């Protein structure tokens, strides 16, 4: 039976107890609405460590659109079922007030890579991401923390932040999990209507085509996407597009 912990002090104590005898702790931070992509992270954390924990926290500080925050799916009961079936020992499920006791006066800012791509299109997004990740890592002090490679820019920034602040946690990137037609799994996919869902796999196929970013942008627009960006960076081709009100991101290795 998974242990659900809401208190920060209680979570700190639980983590200390798990690692006090030299055992390793794997940690998967999430915002809930868990799917098979999250499950791959959870199972890896379980298999590579003596203990495994996860968090569910829909982080308000990483949203620049209040409506987007409001519409994020909350599926707590189903999430707990997945966590239990994946063998996770504890779930950290804090309140907004406990995570931000001084509101948002103190935050982490990275002033180079975070201003590109997602950062250029989502004002303040990575300040919120890095701030919440740092808080969660300081609370849990895990041996390893697991992040999906679909959010490649986020993975790079978190990895480098951990190095910059001399944290002992190892940041593990896990491959993107996809539908059979290539669409990257995302909690946002539920917002695609049937026609959009038919178009959506073209995003990955075009990014994987080997064409130059300018040509990929043209092909995506012709397929019905509104394109935020397609760029080569960090050994990847990264893209962000919109289908109606739904925003999708993806990346493939060069």
**3-5 and 144-148: which strand pairing?**
unpaired
* Model pLDDT, residue 68: 86
Is residue 203 exposed (0-12), middle (13-18) or buried (19+ Cβ within 10 Å)?
buried
Helix count and strand count (H, E) for the chain: 11, 9
42 contacts 174 by C-beta, under 8 angstroms: no
71 contacts 220 by C-beta, under 8 angstroms: no
* Model pLDDT, residue 65: 86
Please name each of the domains of the chain with its CATH number.
3-174 (3.40.50.620), 187-253 (3.30.1300.10)
CA angle 204, 156, 54 (to 5 degrees): 90
- Residue 178 pLDDT greater than 90, yes or no: yes
64-119 pLDDT per residue, tens: 888 889 988 899 999 999 999 999 999 999 999 999 999 999 999 999 999 999 99
Catalytic residue among 38, 125, 191, 204: 38
180-232 pLDDT per residue, tens: 999 999 999 999 999 999 999 999 999 999 999 999 999 999 999 999 999 99
Say which residues have a Cβ less than 8 Å from residue 163's Cβ, sequence separation at least 6: none
Query: What is the percentage of the chain residues whose pLDDT exceeds 90?
Result: 94
* Model pLDDT, residue 67: 85
> pTM for the full model?
0.96
Say which residues have a Cβ less than 8 Å from residue 252's Cβ, sequence separation at least 6: 204, 207, 208, 236, 237
191 is catalytic: no
CA dihedral for 149, 153, 158, 164, sign (positive or negative):
positive
């Amino acid at each position: 039976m998974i242990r659900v912990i809401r208190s920060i002090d209680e979570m700190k104590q639980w983590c200390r107890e798990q690692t006090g005898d030299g055992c390793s702790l794997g940690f998967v931070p999430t915002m809930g609405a868990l799917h098979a992509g999250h499950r791959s992270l959870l199972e890896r954390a379980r298999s590579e460590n003596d203990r495994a924990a996860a968090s569910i926290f829909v982080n308000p500080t990483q949203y620049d659109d209040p409506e987007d925050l409001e519409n994020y799916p909350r599926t707590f009961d189903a999430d707990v079922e997945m966590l239990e079936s994946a063998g996770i020992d504890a779930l950290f499920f804090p309140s907004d007030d406990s995570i931000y006791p001084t509101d948002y006066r103190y935050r982490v800012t990275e002033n180079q890579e975070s201003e590109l791509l997602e950062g250029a299109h989502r004002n303040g997004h990575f300040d919120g991401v890095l701030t919440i990740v740092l808080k969660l890592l300081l609370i849990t002090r895990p041996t390893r923390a697991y992040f999906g490679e679909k959010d490649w820019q986020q993975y790079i920034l978190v990895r480098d932040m951990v190095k910059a602040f001399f944290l002992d946690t190892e940041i593990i990137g896990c491959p993107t999990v996809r539908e059979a037609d290539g669409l990257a799994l995302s909690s946002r996919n539920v917002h695609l209507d049937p026609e959009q869902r038919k178009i959506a796999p073209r995003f990955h196929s075009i990014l994987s085509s080997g064409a130059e970013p300018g040509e990929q942008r043209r092909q995506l627009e012709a397929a019905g996407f509104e394109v935020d960006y397609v760029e080569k960076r960090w050994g990847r081709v990264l893209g962000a597009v919109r289908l109606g009100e739904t925003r999708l991101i993806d990346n493939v290795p060069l």
